[in-house]
C-alpha cells in the first residue's frame, strides 16, 4: 500500500516549490494535461527506495486573506485525517506567525507524525534565525531551501523512516478490489446499495456525505471480490469541507489500493474536468477502468444515436486511451447495474492476463516485419523478440538493436496491435523498447 505525505502550511511559504522538487525526483507527474487533480497538486516520489504519494494542500486553499485562516485549518484537518505523514512548512523570512501556531496546535493534538520544515534557509545567518521555531513546541526542525534543495535530504531520510510499513495482505485482501470512485453526488453509494440490495451505506442528498472507505465482500457471476466505496458516513458538521480536495484525497488512496476502478459520473452534468482528473489518475496508476454514465434516465431528447454520440464525446476526452468500456446506467431504476459489475469483472481478467512468450512472438513479429519502425538517419531498427513483464498489469518489453530510435507513435502502434490481438479492453498497456 502506498503511503500519503501531505505538505501543509500557510500560503507562500514554498509548499508548491518543495512539492515540485519531490515529484521530479521521479518523472512521475500524474499527467502533463493541466488540471489533473487541480493543476497537478498530486504526484509520486521516492526516497531511499520507498515510494510514496505527495499532496500539496496549497493548491486547494482559495479566498481572500481574511478567509485563509479557516481554509488552512480545514486543509490541515483533512490532511491529518487522510495522510500517513505530514510536512509542516514555515518560512524563516517571516518568522513564527499566529497562523503557524494554529497549525502546530492542530498537528500536536493529532498524534500523527509530522516534520517541521523551515524553508528559505540559504545562509548561516538564516540558520540562526530558524531557532525561534522551537517556540512551536517541536523537538526538532529541518532547515531547507525548496529552491535549491539544500537540507531536504535529512528531512526525507527521517520522513521515510516514519512511513508505515507495507501491511501484509490477508487472504481477504487477496480478493480483487473494485473501487467505486467519482465526484460527490454522482451516485456512488446508491450504486453499491442497489448492488447489494440493502442500505449498507447511508445515502443522502448532501454532496460528500461519505467518509471512510468501506469494503463489502461481494459474490456474483461465480466471482468474488471486494467492492470499495470511496466513502463512509461522515458527520454533517463536516460536509462544508472543501469537497474537491476531499474527493481527491479519497480517490488517490482508493485508486492506488485497487485493481479496477468503477468511475461513476452524472450523465446530466457531463464528463467534466474533475471526472477526467480521476480517470487520468487511474490510467497513470495502471488500473483497470470502467466508466459508468449514471442518471441516464434523466437525459432528455434521447434517440437511437444518443448513446453513440455520448460515447464518442467521452472517448474524445479520454484520448489517447480510448479502449475503455462505457456502461449507461440508472441506479435509481436499477438499469444495467449488474452489466456494470460484469464489465468490471471482465476488465479485471484482462488486467491479470498472462500471454505466453511463444504466442506473443508468433503474433507480433510478423506484424513488426510487415510494418517495421521508421528508419532514423539511414539506420534501420530491428525488433527481434518480445516478452510480457512480471508486473500486476500488462507491460511488454520489445528487444531491439537501436531502442533509442523507436518513438512514441510506433510504441502506440505496438500497443494497439497488442490490444487488437489479445483484448486488453479497459486496461492501460505499457510498452518498453529495450536493447537486445
183 marked among binding-site residues:
yes
104 marked among binding-site residues:
no
216 marked among binding-site residues:
no
188 marked among binding-site residues:
yes
Query: 70 CB contacts (<8 Å, ≥6 apart)?
Result: none
In terms of Cα–Cα distance, which of 381, 382, 391, 374 is closest to 430? 391
315 marked among binding-site residues:
no
* CB 222 within 8 Å of CB 173: no
217 marked among binding-site residues:
no
379 marked among binding-site residues:
no
137 marked among binding-site residues:
no
287 marked among binding-site residues:
no
Task: For 358-393, give the DSSP string.
Answer: HHHHHHHHHHHHHSPPPPBTTBPP-EEEEEE-SSSS
208 marked among binding-site residues:
no
293 marked among binding-site residues:
no
User: Distance between CA 106 and CA 99 in Å, rounded?
Assistant: 11
Which DSSP category does 430 fall into? E
Report CA 409 to chain centroid distance, whole Å: 26
- Residue 167 burial class via C-beta count within 10 angstroms: exposed 0-12, middle 13-18, buried 19 and up: exposed
290 marked among binding-site residues:
no
In terms of Cα–Cα distance, which of 251, 22, 243, 212 is closest to 115? 22
User: Distance between CA 358 and CA 356 in Å, rounded?
Assistant: 5
16 marked among binding-site residues:
yes
237 marked among binding-site residues:
no
189 marked among binding-site residues:
yes
187 marked among binding-site residues:
yes
9 marked among binding-site residues:
yes
426 marked among binding-site residues:
no
* CB 203 within 8 Å of CB 189: yes
Output the nine-digit C-alpha cell for 117. 520544515
Task: For 19-72, give the DSSP string.
Answer: HHHHHHTTT-BS-SSTTTHHHH-EEEEEETTEEEEEEEGGGG--S-HHHHHHHH
344 marked among binding-site residues:
no
128 marked among binding-site residues:
no
Output the nine-digit C-alpha cell for 308. 453513440
Strands 395-400 and 383-388: antiparallel
421 marked among binding-site residues:
no
11 marked among binding-site residues:
yes
236 marked among binding-site residues:
no
47 marked among binding-site residues:
no
* CB 247 within 8 Å of CB 263: no
User: Distance between CA 2 and CA 253 in Å, rounded?
Assistant: 8
185 marked among binding-site residues:
yes
* CB 85 within 8 Å of CB 111: no
231 marked among binding-site residues:
yes
Give the annotated binding-site residues: 9-16, 56-60, 119-122, 182-189, 229-233, 294-297
Give the annotated binding-site residues for GTP: 9-16, 56-60, 119-122, 182-189, 229-233, 294-297
Amino acid at each position: 500500500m502506498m503511503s500519503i505525505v501531505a505538505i501543509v502550511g500557510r500560503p507562500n511559504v514554498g509548499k508548491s516549490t518543495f512539492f515540485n522538487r519531490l515529484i521530479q525526483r521521479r518523472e512521475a507527474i500524474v499527467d502533463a494535461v493541466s488540471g489533473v487533480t487541480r493543476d497537478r497538486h498530486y504526484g509520486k516520489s521516492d526516497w531511499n527506495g520507498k515510494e510514496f504519494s505527495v499532496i500539496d494542500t496549497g493548491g486547494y486553499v482559495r479566498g481572500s486573506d481574511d478567509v485563509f485562516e479557516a481554509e488552512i485549518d480545514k486543509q490541515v484537518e483533512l490532511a491529518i485525517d487522510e495522510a500517513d505523514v505530514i510536512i509542516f512548512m514555515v518560512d524563516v523570512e517571516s518568522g513564527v506567525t499566529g497562523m503557524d501556531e494554529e497549525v502546530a496546535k492542530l498537528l500536536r493534538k493529532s498524534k500523527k507524525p509530522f516534520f517541521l520544515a523551515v524553508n528559505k534557509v540559504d545562509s548561516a545567518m538564516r540558520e540562526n534565525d530558524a531557532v525561534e521555531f522551537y517556540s512551536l513546541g517541536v523537538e526538532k526542525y529541518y532547515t531547507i531551501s525548496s529552491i535549491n534543495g539544500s537540507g531536504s535530504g535529512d528531512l526525507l531520510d527521517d520522513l521515510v523512516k516514519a512511513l508505515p510499513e507495507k501491511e501484509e495482505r490477508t487472504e481477504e485482501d487477496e480478493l480483487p478490489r473494485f473501487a467505486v470512485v467519482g465526484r460527490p453526488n454522482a451516485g456512488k453509494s446508491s450504486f453499491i446499495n442497489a448492488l447489494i440490495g440493502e442500505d449498507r451505506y447511508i445515502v443522502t442528498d448532501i454532496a460528500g456525505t461519505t467518509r471512510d472507505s468501506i469494503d463489502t465482500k461481494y459474490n456474483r457471476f461465480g466471482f468474488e471480490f471486494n467492492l470499495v466505496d470511496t466513502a463512509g458516513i461522515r458527520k454533517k458538521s463536516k460536509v462544508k469541507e472543501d469537497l474537491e480536495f476531499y474527493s481527491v484525497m479519497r480517490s488517490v488512496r482508493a485508486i492506488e489500493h485497487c485493481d479496477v476502478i468503477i468511475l461513476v459520473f452524472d450523465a446530466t452534468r457531463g464528463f467534466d474536468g474533475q471526472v477526467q482528473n480521476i480517470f487520468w489518475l487511474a490510467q497513470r496508476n495502471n488500473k483497470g477502468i470502467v466508466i459508468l454514465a449514471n442518471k441516464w434516465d434523466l437525459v432528455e431528447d434521447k434517440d437511437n444515436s444518443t448513446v453513440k454520440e455520448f460515447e464518442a464525446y467521452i472517448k474524445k476526452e479520454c484520448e489517447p486511451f480510448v479502449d475503455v468500456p462505457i456502461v449507461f446506467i440508472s441506479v435509481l431504476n436499477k438499469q444495467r447495474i449488474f452489466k456494470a459489475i460484469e464489465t468490471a469483472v471482465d476488465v479485471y481478467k484482462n488486467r491479470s492476463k498472462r500471454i505466453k512468450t511463444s504466442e506473443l512472438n508468433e503474433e507480433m513479429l510478423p506484424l513488426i516485419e510487415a510494418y517495421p519502425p521508421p528508419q532514423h538517419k539511414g539506420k534501420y531498427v530491428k525488433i527481434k523478440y518480445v516478452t510480457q513483464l512480471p508486473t500486476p498489469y500488462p507491460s511488454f518489453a520489445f528487444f531491439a538493436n537501436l531502442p533509442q530510435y523507436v518513438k512514441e507513435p510506433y510504441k502506440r502502434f505496438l500497443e494497439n496491435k497488442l490490444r487488437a490481438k489479445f483484448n486488453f479492453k479497459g486496461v492501460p498497456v505499457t510498452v518498453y523498447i529495450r536493447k537486445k
